[in-house]
């Protein structure tokens, strides 16, 4: 799951919790505030009453038994009332307490906050009730709840979108780092060392870390390249000297046949040495990504060229070529390397074929992947041999000349181009190499 989505979900859940808490707490708080306010005003009224307390007042407020009136006094909107009546037994000292009760005043039912005050006056016990309607407060609570609901839902929606945009903005340098600095880098040489623009220290740190790492990799890489260049220079220069010296030596008329034979055979040895070094250098260069794969190569044309190139060997063994390339597909790659790859496969198909044998070249599609199959009618390989066929210095037939580097190079080139090679073989019938090209390589 993306950080963006995780953060958004987290923030929404967070806000929902806050809303739920406020939904419960805010009315409770408001209620408390309102109660303390009401209580204070009730207390003031009681004190006023107690201050002016005399017989006349008591008589004035005392509910007379002969009337139907239950309340001694109430405001016109029934928001307040006052009630005084005699009770039989008091507790002795005056005491007061608050209570919420439902009262009906003039057939209107309403919740009241009531202050009860028991007191004794001239040996009579009285209870004073001062009430304050709670309907206003209930309205207030309702308004508060609605308010919370609307404001908070609206803020959720608004912040959800603004956060999504902001997170997207925050993470943009991250995506940029991934895309420009990590995903599409094959060669440290092509690494872009310009800093990614960001205000987040973390991404700056990541960017700088990548630069440091890439710098070190580049250093190692260049050292290796330099090493390869040096090795090749140091080895190939003496070989060049020997080769040229022997070539000059052959021209010497005074050499007898035996000496000439030895010189020629030394030249052949030098040639083998040169080719082994060049092959090893080629493999290491491919594996170091020192080649570019940006040419458009038509594979059918390439194979036709190769068959032309092998013409004499094919005729020499009287091999028939079955050319079944139906699609004319071009891929992105390195032409020289692809040439070497097919050269080695077809060369082997000829070398290991029987006289009057056949080589079948065909193409097609397997699950959207373009494939080329090169099959021969050679002696075939055992499953163990198939497993080793791409290893360096492996030779299938010890009587055959060669150093067994051809298919190792083929494998390196295939890997470099992301081509999969599927090898099947049956002893006595022949081998077949199927190359599966990556879908994105097609042009």
Partner 1 sequence: MNILIVEDHRELGSEIADYLVGAGYICKWVDTCEMALEELHSNDFDAMLLDVGLPDGSGFDVLKAVRKQKSKIAVIVITARGELNDKIDGLQLGADDYLTKPFALTELGARLYAIIRRIHGFSANELEIHGFTIQLQDYKVSYDSEIISLTKKEFDIFQYLALNKNRVITRLQLTEHIWGDILEVNSDSNFIDVHVRNLRKKLDKHAPLDWFETVRNVGYRINVEP
Nearer Cβ to partner 1 (278/423): 278
Query: Site for partner 1 (CB under 8 A): how many residues?
Result: 50
- The answer to whether residue 137 forms part of the interface with partner 1 (CB under 8 A) is no
- The answer to whether residue 289 forms part of the interface with partner 1 (CB under 8 A) is no
- The answer to whether residue 244 forms part of the interface with partner 1 (CB under 8 A) is yes
Q: Give the shortest CB-375-to-partner 1 separation in angstroms.
A: 21
Which of 63, 239, 325, 386 binds partner 1 (CB under 8 A)? It is 239
- The answer to whether residue 396 forms part of the interface with partner 1 (CB under 8 A) is no
Nearer Cβ to partner 1 (206/293): 293
Q: Which residue, 395, 399, 314, is CA-closest to 361?
A: 314
Of 71-79, 129-137, 169-177, 308-316, the segment contacting partner 1 by CB under 8 A is 308-316
Nearer Cβ to partner 1 (128/282): 282
Which of 4, 243, 392, 442 binds partner 1 (CB under 8 A)? It is 243
- The answer to whether residue 313 forms part of the interface with partner 1 (CB under 8 A) is yes
- The answer to whether residue 200 forms part of the interface with partner 1 (CB under 8 A) is no
Which of 47, 208, 222, 237 binds partner 1 (CB under 8 A)? It is 237
Conformational region of residue 89, where left means phi above 0, alpha means psi within -120 to 50, and beta covers everything else = beta
Binding mask 202-231 for partner 1 (x = CB under 8 A): ---------------------------x--
Which of 70, 111, 232, 284 binds partner 1 (CB under 8 A)? It is 232
- The answer to whether residue 290 forms part of the interface with partner 1 (CB under 8 A) is yes
CA angle (385, 277, 233) in 5-degree steps? 160
Residue that is written with structure tokens 């943009």 in the block:
172
Q: Which residue, 52, 114, 48, is CA-closest to 81?
A: 114
Which of 81, 343, 390, 433 binds partner 1 (CB under 8 A)? It is 343
Q: Give the shortest CB-240-to-partner 1 separation in angstroms.
A: 3
- 89 vs 51, 114, 117, 316, 376, CA distance in Å? 23, 20, 13, 136, 122
- The answer to whether residue 410 forms part of the interface with partner 1 (CB under 8 A) is no
Q: Give the shortest CB-233-to-partner 1 separation in angstroms.
A: 4
Which of 124, 152, 236, 354 binds partner 1 (CB under 8 A)? It is 236
Nearer Cβ to partner 1 (84/409): 409
Nearer Cβ to partner 1 (346/375): 346
What is the C-alpha to C-alpha distance for residues 218 and 220, in angstroms, rounded to an integer?
5
Q: Give the shortest CB-214-to-partner 1 separation in angstroms.
A: 20
**Contacts (CB under 8 A) with partner 1, residues 354-383:** none
Backbone angles phi, psi at 130, to 5 degrees: -115, 120
- Rounded to a whole number of angstroms, the distance between the first and last alpha carbons of the chain is 34
Binding mask 257-286 for partner 1 (x = CB under 8 A): x--xx--x--xx-xxx-xxx-xx-xx--x-
Of 127-135, 159-167, 381-389, 402-410, the segment contacting partner 1 by CB under 8 A is 402-410
Angle between helices 257-287 and 406-416 in degrees, nearest 10 = 20
Q: Which residues bind partner 1 (CB under 8 A)?
A: 229, 232-233, 236-237, 239-245, 247-248, 250-251, 257, 260-261, 264, 267-268, 270-272, 274-276, 278-279, 281-282, 285, 290-292, 309, 312-313, 316, 340, 343-344, 347, 401-403, 405-406, 409
């Amino acid at each position: 799951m993306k950080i963006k989505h995780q953060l958004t979900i987290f923030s929404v859940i967070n806000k929902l919790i806050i809303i739920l808490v406020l939904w419960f707490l805010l009315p409770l708080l408001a209620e408390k505030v309102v109660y303390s306010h009401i209580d204070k005003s009730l207390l003031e009224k009681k004190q006023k009453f107690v201050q002016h307390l005399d017989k006349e007042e008591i008589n004035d407020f005392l509910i007379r038994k002969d009337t139907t009136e239950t309340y001694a006094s109430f405001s016109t909107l029934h928001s307040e009332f006052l009630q005084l009546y005699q009770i039989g037994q008091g507790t002795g000292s005056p005491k007061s307490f608050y209570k919420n009760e439902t009262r009906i005043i003039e057939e209107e039912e309403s919740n009241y906050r009531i202050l009860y005050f028991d007191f004794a006056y001239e040996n009579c016990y009285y209870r004073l009730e001062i009430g304050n309607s709670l309907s206003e407060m209930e309205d207030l609570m309702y308004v508060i709840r609605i308010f919370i609901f609307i404001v908070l839902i609206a803020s959720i929606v608004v912040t959800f979108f603004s956060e999504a945009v902001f997170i997207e903005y925050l993470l943009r340098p991250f995506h940029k780092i991934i895309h420009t600095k990590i995903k599409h880098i094959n060669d440290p040489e092509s690494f872009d060392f310009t800093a990614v623009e960001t205000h987040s220290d973390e991404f700056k740190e990541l960017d700088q870390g990548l630069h440091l790492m890439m710098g070190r990799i580049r250093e190692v890489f260049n050292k290796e390249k330099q090493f390869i260049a040096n090795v090749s220079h140091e080895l190939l220069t003496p070989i060049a000297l020997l080769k040229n010296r022997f070539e000059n030596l052959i021209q010497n008329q005074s050499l007898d046949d035996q000496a000439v034979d030895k010189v020629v055979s030394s030249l052949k040895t030098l040639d083998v040495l040169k080719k082994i070094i060049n092959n090893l250098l080629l493999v290491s260069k491919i594996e170091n990504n020192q080649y570019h794969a940006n040419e458009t190569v038509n594979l059918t044309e390439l194979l036709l060229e190769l068959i032309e190139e092998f013409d004499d060997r094919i005729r020499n063994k009287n091999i028939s070529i079955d050319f079944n390339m139906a699609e004319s597909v071009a891929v992105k790659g390195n032409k020289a390397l692809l040439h070497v790859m097919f050269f080695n496969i077809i060369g082997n198909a000829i070398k290991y074929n029987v006289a009057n044998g056949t080589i079948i070249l065909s193409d097609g599609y397997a699950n959207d992947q373009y494939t080329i199959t090169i099959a021969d009618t050679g002696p075939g390989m055992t499953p163990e041999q198939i497993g080793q066929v791409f290893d360096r210095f492996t030779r299938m037939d010890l009587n055959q000349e060669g150093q067994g580097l051809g298919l190792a190079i083929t494998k390196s080139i295939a890997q470099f181009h992301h081509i999969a090679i599927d090898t099947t073989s049956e002893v006595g019938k022949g081998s077949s190499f199927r190359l599966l090209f990556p879908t994105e390589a097609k042009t």
